Structure 1
Amino acid sequence: MTRDHGYARYRLDGCRCYVCGFARSLYDENRDRALAYGTWQPWVDAEPLRVHIRYLQSCEMGLRAIAAAAPCDRKRLQAVLHGRPERGTGPQEKVRPALAASVLAVEPTLENLAPSTLLNPVGTRRRAHALVAVGWPQQHLALHLGMDPGNFGRMLSSEHVIVRRAFAVRSMYDELWRADPAAHGATLGGINRARAYAADRGWAPPAAWDDDTIDEPTAYPDWTGKCGTPEGFWAHRYIAVPACPPCRAAFNAQGRKRRTAS
Structure 2
Amino acid sequence: MTTAVREAPHHNTVTCVKHYGCKRIECVERVRAYQKAWRHNRATQPPFVDAEPVRKHLELLADAGIGPRRVSTLTGLAVETIAGFTRPYNCGGGRRFGRKRKVRPVVAAKILALDPDTITPGVTDATGSRRRIQALNAAGWTKPALAQRLPAGSRPLHTLHQQTHLYARTADAIADLYDALKDQRPEEHGVHPTSAHRARLRAQRNNWPTIRYWADLMDVIDDLHFEPQYGVTRRQIVAQDAHWLMAEGGLDRFTAAERLGVHKSYLDHAFREFPEYALETAA
- TM-score, scaled to structure 2: 0.43
Compare relative contact order (CA 8 Å, sep 6+) and give the higher one, 1 or 2.
Answer: 2
Q: Higher Cα Rg: structure 1 or 2?
A: 1
- TM-score, scaled to structure 1: 0.46
